[in-house]
Amino acid sequence: MKKLKLLVLGTSFFATTCLAGDGFEIYKKYCSSCHLSEITMEKMKEIENTIKAGKKPPIKAPPFPEVSARIKYFYPNKEDFIKFVVDYITNPSAEKAKCLPMALQKFGVMPPIGKNMTDEEKVAVANWLYDNYNTKWEKFPMGKRGQCKHHHNHEHMHEHRGE
């Protein structure tokens, strides 16, 4: 874990300058089977309504524009964001997840995709996930109300208060 932390800090600069273009390739290889890289707000609303109506969503996971905004909402700092994503994709769990409880319920917890990736690939894709999107969480249909998961997540409550 310590080693990973150093690597993340050490390579975030490298990743920004040298690997930015590779992030999308890594996304296509490892993430695109579940996560959409682009989606319109209209489509997001449609999906939210489908879920609210108790029907099965037409996608396997939250789209990346939403995921990026959501994680940035908790970790605005890029290094913290990258650390979270690299760790999450390797060891995902419902406790760590920043997704809305509704999303976890509908989609289930993500499989540990990162276990099959190199640390460089993980950092590069996390870097891309941060840089490629700039829509704020509040702009998403789900972001407009009660976005915080206040139960059993003390770590986040502190972070949120500090923002």
Residue 73 within binding range of ligand HEC, rule CB under 6 A: no
Stretch that binds ligand HEC, among 5-13, 27-35, 45-53, 148-156 (CB under 6 A): 27-35
For residue 124, the SS3 value is helix
Cα–Cα distance, 48 to 68 (Å, whole number)? 17
CA distances 103 to 28, 43, 77, Å, are 22, 16, 24
Q: In b/e form, how buried is each residue of 122-138, taking b as 16+ CB within 10 angstroms?
A: bbbbbbbbbebbeeebe
Of the candidates 91, 8, 108, the one whose C-alpha atom is nearest the C-alpha of residue 56 is 108
- Select the residue interacting with ligand HEC from 10, 58, 76, 111 (CB under 6 A): 111
Cα–Cα distance, 102 to 119 (Å, whole number)? 30
Residue 109 within binding range of ligand HEC, rule CB under 6 A: yes
- Pair 102, 124: CB distance under 8 Å: no
Q: State the nearest-atom distance from the C-beta of 28 to ligand HEC, in Å.
A: 10
| Residue 60 or 150 with smaller CB distance to ligand HEC | 60
* Sites for ligand HEC among residues 29-68 (CB under 6 A): 30-31, 33-35, 60-62, 67
Stretch that binds ligand HEC, among 37-45, 108-116, 138-146, 149-157 (CB under 6 A): 108-116
Q: Which residues bind ligand HEC (CB under 6 A)?
A: 30-31, 33-35, 60-62, 67, 71, 85, 88-89, 92, 97-99, 103-104, 107-111, 113, 125, 129
